[in-house]
C-alpha cells in the first residue's frame, strides 16, 4: 500500500520464489497469486540483484511474447526491487506494475529501493526474533533446525555432535511457576542459561540453544571421544538462583548424538538427541550417547503399542489362556487365572512380558483390562452352560482401580451376564503405587463391598512390607515364584517360606503359591500350611477348550 501511495497509484505486490514457482504474498490491485518461475518477471530482478525498470514491456524484446503481458494481468509497466537480507540472501521482490506504459524517475527508483529496504529490515527483525528464545535470549529450537539444515546443504562429512541438556523437568518448572510466579521461573531459566555458557567454556564454533523450558542443546564440531564425560563433569553440582534468596540444585542429564550432516537429516538428528537424553533420564544416568540398538527397540515398542491398539479394536490376535489353581487340602481345582496372550500378525506369538510392561505406561491399559474382563465373563457364561462353575481371576492395574466408576461398571457387566461376583476374582500387583493412590484404594474398597474376592499378586518380590497388609483389604495372598522356586533345593528358603505362610495364615489370608513345578515343592508347601498352588506341575496355561478337556481327563487332583 505504501508503494502504491508513493509511486503514483501503481499496482503493487511482494513476491517470493523458489526454483519452480513464484508466489504473491501481498498485493494491492494485482490479481495474480502465483506463476511458474519461468513466467515470473521478478526472476530478472533476482538475477540482477538490483532495481529493474521496464517502462514499456511491449518494447522490450525479453517480454514481447510473455504470457503475463499478452494475457491477464496485462503487465505493460514493471519495476522491481530485490528484498536483500543482512546476510546477502535475496528472499523476494517488491514490485509495482501498471496496464499502461510509464516513465520512472531516478527519485522513484530510490523511493522503491528505500521501501524495499524498510520491508527487508522488518522481515530481518521478525526473522531473527522468531529464532530467539524470548526468556534466555539464546537461539531457539527453530534456529537449531535451521543451522542443521544449513550444515546438511553443505554436504560436509565432518563429524558433529549435538548434546541435549536437561536442567529442570517440566513438572518441576510448573511447580516453581505455581508457587513463585512466572517471573521467578523466567529468572531461574535466565540464570541457568548464563551458568551453562560459563561452565561449558564454548569454543568459537560451538553454539548453545534453548529448545524448551529448562532444556538446552549444544551443537559442536570436531569433538574427541570422551568429551561427553568431560562435559558432564563441567555441569556437576550446578546451583541456579531465583533472585537473591532462593537457590536450586540442578540434576543435569545429557544425551548426545554424533552425526555427519551429509547423511543425517536435521529432524532425525534432533530426534536421536532427544532419544539419548530420555535414555539418560529414564536410567537416572548423568549422560548417555545415542545407541542405535536401543533406539531400534524403542521404535519396535512404539509399533507394538500401535498394533495392540488395532488388536483391541477387533483386528484379532488377542486371546486368553487359563491356568488352574489347585487346593492342597482337597486336591481339586478351586479356580483359574486368566492370562492374556497375543498372536501378532508379523511377529508371531508374543510373551506377555514383551508387551504388557509397555501397556502399563500408557492409556491403553484400561482398554486391555476391559477386553480381558469382557472376554472372561463371556467364557464364564459359556462354561456355566456346560456345568463348569470355577471362579476366574483377572489382573488389574492401579490405574484401573483408580478409574471413576470401575467397580460399578464391573458389577453391571456381571449382572448383564447373569453371573455372581464370587465367580470373578481381582488380582492386583503394584502395591507401592496402590498405597500412594487414594483413588485406587477407594476403588479397591468398593470392589470389596460388592463381594469380589481380592488377591495380592507376587507377594515376596520387590516392595513386600508386612505393614501394608493392614491397609489393603485383601482375601488371597499369592506368593511370588521367587519364594517358591528354590524350596526343593534350599533349606534357608524353606524356613523363610514356612514363616511367611504361618504369619499369613494367622492373619486369616488364603495363601496361594505360584510357580510350583515339582512334587517335592508341592509336599513342602502342603506341610507349611499353604492353601492353594498354581504352576506347571498341576497344569500349564490352557485355552478354554483345553480347560474343559483337562477337567474331563481326571488329571485335576
For residue 256, what are the β-bridge partners? Answer: 163, 289
Average pLDDT score over residue span 67-72: 87
Q: What pLDDT is attached to residue 5?
A: 47
Give 315-321 contacts, CB < 8 A, sequence gap 24+: 317/342, 317/343, 317/344, 317/345, 318/342, 318/343, 318/371, 319/343, 319/543, 320/372, 320/375, 320/376, 320/379, 320/543, 320/544, 321/541, 321/542, 321/543, 321/546
Average pLDDT value for residue range 386-408: 95
Do the beta carbons of residue 425 and residue 392 sit within 8 Å? yes
- Compute the average pLDDT of residues 27-52: 87
Is a pLDDT exceeding 70 seen at residue 125? yes
Question: Residue 155's closest CA among 269, 290, 264, 257?
Answer: 264
Q: What are the CA-CA distances from residue 408 to residues 55, 401, 452 (Å)?
A: 83, 11, 12
Q: In this predicted model, what pLDDT tens digit does every residue of 166-220 receive, in sequence order?
A: 998 878 888 888 888 888 888 889 999 999 999 998 888 899 999 998 999 999 9
The reported pLDDT for the residue numbered 397 is: 92
Joined grid coordinates for residue 187: 529468572
Fold agreement between 2-130 and 301-551: no
Conformation bin of residue 214: beta by default, left when phi > 0, alpha when psi is -120 to 50: left
Instruction: Supply the CATH classification number for the domain 301-551.
Output: 3.20.20.450
Query: What CATH class does 141-290 carry?
Result: alpha beta
In the block, cell 460399578 appears at 408
- pLDDT digit string (tens) for 301-326? 999 999 999 999 887 799 999 999 99
Percent of the chain with pLDDT over 70: 96
Domain boundaries, the chain: 2-130, 141-290, 301-551
pLDDT single digits (tens) 490-506: 999 999 999 999 999 99
The whole-number pLDDT of residue 392 equals 98
In this model, does residue 463 exceed pLDDT 60? no
3-state secondary structure of 20: coil
* Location of C-alpha cell 530478472: 44
Residue-averaged pLDDT of the chain: 89
Mean pLDDT, range 529-550, rounded to an integer = 95
Class of 2-130 per CATH?
Answer: alpha beta
Amino acid at each position: 500500500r505504501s508503494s502504491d501511495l508513493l509511486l503514483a497509484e501503481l499496482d503493487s505486490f511482494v513476491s517470493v520464489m523458489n526454483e519452480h514457482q513464484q508466489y504473491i504474498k501481498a498485493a494491492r490491485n494485482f490479481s495474480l497469486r502465483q506463476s511458474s518461475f519461468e513466467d515470473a518477471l521478478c526472476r530478472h530482478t533476482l538475477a540482477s540483484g538490483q532495481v529493474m525498470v521496464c517502462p514499456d514491456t511491449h518494447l522490450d524484446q525479453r517480454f514481447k511474447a510473455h504470457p503475463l503481458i499478452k494475457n491477464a494481468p496485462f503487465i505493460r509497466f514493471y519495476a522491481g526491487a530485490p528484498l536483500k537480507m543482512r546476510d546477502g540472501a535475496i528472499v523476494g521482490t517488491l514490485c509495482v506494475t501498471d496496464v499502461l506504459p510509464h516513465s520512472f524517475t531516478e527519485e522513484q527508483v530510490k523511493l522503491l529501493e528505500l521501501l524495499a529496504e524498510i520491508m527487508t529490515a522488518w522481515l530481518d527483525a521478525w526473522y531473527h526474533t522468531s529464532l530467539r528464545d524470548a526468556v534466555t535470549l539464546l537461539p531457539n529450537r527453530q534456529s537449531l533446525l535451521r543451522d542443521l539444515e544449513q550444515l546438511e546443504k553443505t554436504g560436509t562429512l565432518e563429524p558433529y555432535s549435538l548434546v541435549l541438556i536437561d536442567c529442570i523437568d517440566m513438572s518441576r518448572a510448573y511447580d516453581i511457576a505455581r508457587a513463585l510466579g512466572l517471573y521467578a521461573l523466567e529468572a531461574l531459566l535466565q540464570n541457568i542459561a548464563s551458568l551453562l555458557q560459563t561452565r561449558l567454556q564454548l569454543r568459537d564454533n560451538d553454539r548453545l540453544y534453548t529448545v524448551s523450558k529448562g532444556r538446552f542443546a549444544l551443537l559442536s564440531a570436531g569433538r574427541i571421544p570422551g568429551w561427553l564425560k568431560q562435559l558432564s563433569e563441567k555441569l556437576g553440582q550446578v546451583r541456579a538462583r531465583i533472585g537473591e534468596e532462593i537457590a536450586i540444585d540442578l540434576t543435569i542429564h545429557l544425551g548426545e548424538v554424533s552425526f555427519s550432516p551429509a547423511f543425517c537429516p536435521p529432524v532425525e538428528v534432533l530426534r536421536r538427541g532427544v532419544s539419548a537424553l530420555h535414555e539418560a533420564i529414564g536410567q537416572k544416568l548423568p549422560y548417555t550417547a545415542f545407541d542405535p540398538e536401543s533406539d531400534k527397540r524403542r521404535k519396535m515398542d512404539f509399533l507394538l503399542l500401535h498394533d495392540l491398539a488395532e488388536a483391541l479394536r477387533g483386528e484379532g490376535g488377542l486371546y486368553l489362556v487359563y491356568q488352574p489353581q489347585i487346593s492342597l487340602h482337597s486336591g481339586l481345582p478351586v479356580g483359574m487365572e486368566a492370562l492374556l496372550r497375543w498372536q501378532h500378525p508379523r511377529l508371531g506369538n508374543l510373551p506377555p512380558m514383551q508387551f504388557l510392561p509397555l501397556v502399563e505406561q500408557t492409556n491403553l491399559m484400561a482398554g486391555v483390562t476391559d477386553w480381558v474382563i469382557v472376554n472372561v465373563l463371556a467364557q464364564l457364561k459359556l462354561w456355566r452352560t456346560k456345568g463348569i462353575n470355577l471362579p476366574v481371576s483377572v489382573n488389574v492395574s492401579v490405574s484401573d482401580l483408580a478409574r471413576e466408576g470401575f467397580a460399578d461398571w464391573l458389577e453391571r457387566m456381571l449382572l448383564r451376564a447373569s453371573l455372581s461376583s464370587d465367580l470373578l476374582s481381582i488380582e492386583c500387583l503394584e502395591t507401592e503405587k496402590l498405597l500412594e493412590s487414594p483413588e485406587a484404594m477407594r476403588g479397591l474398597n468398593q470392589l470389596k463391598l460388592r463381594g469380589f474376592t481380592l488377591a495380592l499378586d507376587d507377594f515376596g518380590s520387590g516392595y513386600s512390607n508386612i505393614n501394608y497388609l493392614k491397609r489393603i483389604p485383601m482375601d488371597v495372598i499369592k506368593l511370588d515364584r521367587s519364594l517358591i522356586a528354590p524350596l526343593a533345593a534350599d533349606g534357608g528358603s524353606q524356613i523363610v517360606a514356612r514363616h511367611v505362610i504361618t504369619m499369613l495364615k494367622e492373619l486369616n489370608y488364603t495363601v496361594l503359591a505360584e510357580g510350583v513345578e515339582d512334587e517335592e515343592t508341592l509336599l513342602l508347601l502342603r506341610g507349611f500350611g499353604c492353601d492353594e498352588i498354581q504352576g506347571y506341575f498341576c497344569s500349564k496355561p490352557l485355552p478354554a477348550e483345553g480347560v474343559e478337556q483337562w477337567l474331563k481327563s481326571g488329571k485335576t487332583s
